[in-house]
Amino acid sequence: MAHKGRARLFDALTTKGTAFTHEERRELGLLGLLPIAEKTIDEQVEHTYHEFSTRRDDLDKHIYLRALQDRNETLFYRLLSEHIEEMMPIVYTPTVGEACQRFSEIYRRPRGLFVAYPDRAELREVLRNRPEREVDVIVVTDGQRILGLGDQGIGGMGIPIGKLSLYTLIGGIDPARTLPIVLDVGTDNVERREDPQYLGWRHRRIGDDEYYAFVEEFVAAVREELPDVLLQWEDFATTHALPILDRYRDRLLTFNDDIQGTAAVALGALHGAAQTAGRPLSEQQVVMLGAGSAGIGVLEMIRQEMVSQGLSDAEAASRIWVVDIKGLLTDDRTDLSDGQRRFAQPAARVEGWAGVQLADVVHQVDVGVLLGLSTAAGAFTEEIVRELAGKTDRPIIFPLSNPTSRAEAHPHELDEWTDGRALVATGSPFAPVERNGKKRRVAQCNNVYIFPAIGLAVTAARATRVTNEMMRVAAKTLGEASPALSDPDEPLLPAWEDVPEIATRIATAVAVQAVKDGVAPERSDDELAQLIRESRWKPEYR
């Protein structure tokens, strides 16, 4: 706020552009630096929306919005908040996936921190060079599993930038207090590495010993510089995601969005779905396609929920069937990680089956819930879905892989193959499904319903850890807001326009839980609710 003149005019966080009044221009040394007209923020929104609308395709629209964000953050968030449903798919999945693939080509200006392995001796200096001193939330990736698009190296930076935009848009986190980070540890994507435009370190990914030592150094630098920050891990390959979470979850204020955020949103959506289907989760047989960190994270939470509904651990596990690229996870497989092994079915249970692929499991088991976190586009085939639809009145089918090009099925197909009976939620956004002249919105079961609220909760309540119970409360509060609970024809998750308000509700419940869990200072529930409402940043010129 202190700067004047050009520095003030070009400070994206505090500029008002053509909305500086004549008096402000005089006070701030801006006279003559702007055309004489004085705009209101509403007029600026109208103008930028028109500009946005003239862009040819979604990537152009993404580039336009990113440029606006770099120029005037208040206006960027005001525009987004007035067109949330239209712009979410542009700043986030699916368009952000293409923006990551073409990151070096569309690169304009730096944002956040590029923490590169060759700079490892100077990590503290890198952290000290962060653009803003005070930070509430870091989102960090190493670019190895960007949505379902694999290794994008430094291009993965598009994801932390996009996620943090949603922390602000939905969770009301002050954009000046967010920090996107990419750990540049090389890339195994040969096409990227050999692209002359590639802006990252042209090197194969470093080996695990160097990798974990580097992550440890990075964490140490973050702790020293920003001891209270929330550190969110995003889009790490499963092989690294789980060990990193295990190593740091009890040492830092941290969570892994793909594991824990996805689990919470899936459980939230299943709440409305199970109620509409008329059968609680604990009475369902659940099939998951994909045994990566997202899939296993979701299943851990489903199992806990089944236990809270009265099953033993073993009974719950016996209702969960996981299929990966090799087929069903069974206890005679030697290639399973510890996390996967917890969901392996006894091999004896499948003796006599013709095979152990998804179609076989759906054929043999009384499946009520089919979930996909596999990146396998089209894997929920007509044959599989029709078989499932023959077993239950209201099949619950969630193709959750991102971006759209990786979805296991499209909602209009699921609708057709089940005669409109499927209860559907998808990872990326899809157009409404039309049946008998009536259009129905498709719920987007994406962790964006959760992470902004977690950020808001821990920031406002000054929490020091993200506990499992905090995540469970987030899932429960979201589930209770399902429009399908009051009308089975409504989507399983709330509309985007309502999401900022619901994020506030989730954040309040999570903050209350943080106090209960002893990881945030004592405060009454009312005080927390008030603190959360008051701490929300708003896109208004100061």
Ligand X SMILES: NC(=O)C1=CN([C@@H]2O[C@H](COP(=O)(O)OP(=O)(O)OC[C@H]3O[C@@H](n4cnc5c(N)ncnc54)[C@H](OP(=O)(O)O)[C@@H]3O)[C@@H](O)[C@H]2O)C=CC1
> What x/- string results for residues 132 through 171 when contact with ligand CC(=O)C(=O)O is judged by CB under 6 A?
---------------x------------------------
Name which of ligand CC(=O)C(=O)O, ligand X, Mg ion, none residue 284 binds, using a CB cut-off of 5 to 8 Å depending on partner kind: none
Dihedrals phi, psi of 376, to nearest 5 degrees: -95, 95
Q: Which of 291, 302, 484, 506 binds ligand X (CB under 6 A)?
A: 291
Select the binding partner of residue 379 from ligand X, ligand CC(=O)C(=O)O, Mg ion, none (C-beta < 5 to 8 A, by kind): ligand X
Q: Does 262 bind ligand X (CB under 6 A)?
A: yes
- Give residue 94's identity as a one-letter amino acid code: P
Q: Judge whether 61 counts as a catalytic residue.
A: no
Q: Which two tokens stand for residue 106?
A: 């569309």
- The answer to the question of whether 60 is labelled as a binding residue is no
Annotated binding residue 415:
no
Length of the chain measured in residues? 542
Nearest residue to 430 (alpha-carbon basis) of 462, 206, 422, 250: 422
Catalytic residue among 16, 61, 163, 476: 163
- Return d(Cα 518, Cα 516) in angstroms, integer: 5
Quick count: other Cβ atoms within 10 Å of Cβ 326?
A: 12
> Taking Cα atoms as reference points, which of 244, 131, 255, 224 lies closest to residue 181?
131
163 annotated active-site: yes
Interacting positions 68-97 with ligand CC(=O)C(=O)O (CB under 6 A): 93
Residue indicated by tokens 């990075």 = 218
**290 binds ligand X per the rule CB under 6 A:** yes
Q: Which of 68, 84, 123, 373 binds ligand X (CB under 6 A)?
A: 373
Among 16, 61, 77, 92, which one carries the catalytic annotation?
92
Does 426 bind ligand CC(=O)C(=O)O (CB under 6 A)? Our answer is no
Among 75, 376, 388, 389, binds ligand X (CB under 6 A): 376
Q: Is 366 marked within a binding site? A: no
Residue span 446-465 as binding mask against ligand CC(=O)C(=O)O, x where in contact by CB under 6 A, dash where not: xx------------------
Tokens of 168: 């602000």
The binder of 411, among ligand CC(=O)C(=O)O, ligand X, Mg ion, none, by C-beta within 5 to 8 A per type, is none
CA distance 370 to 329: 15
Q: Of residues 187, 345, 375, 402, which one binds ligand CC(=O)C(=O)O by CB under 6 A?
A: 402
Radius of gyration of the CA atoms of the chain, in A: 24
- Of residues 295 and 395, the one with the C-beta less far from ligand X: 295
DSSP for 89-155, written as a single string: HHHSTTHHHHHHHTHHHH--S--SEEEEGGGGGGHHHHHHT-SSS--SEEEEE-SSS-TTS---GGG
Q: 469 a known binding residue?
A: no
d(CA 527, CA 132): 29
189 is in an annotated binding site: no
Q: How far apart are CA 426 and CA 94, in angstroms?
A: 12
* Least distance to ligand X, CB of residue 71, Å: 30
Residues with a catalytic annotation lie at 92, 163
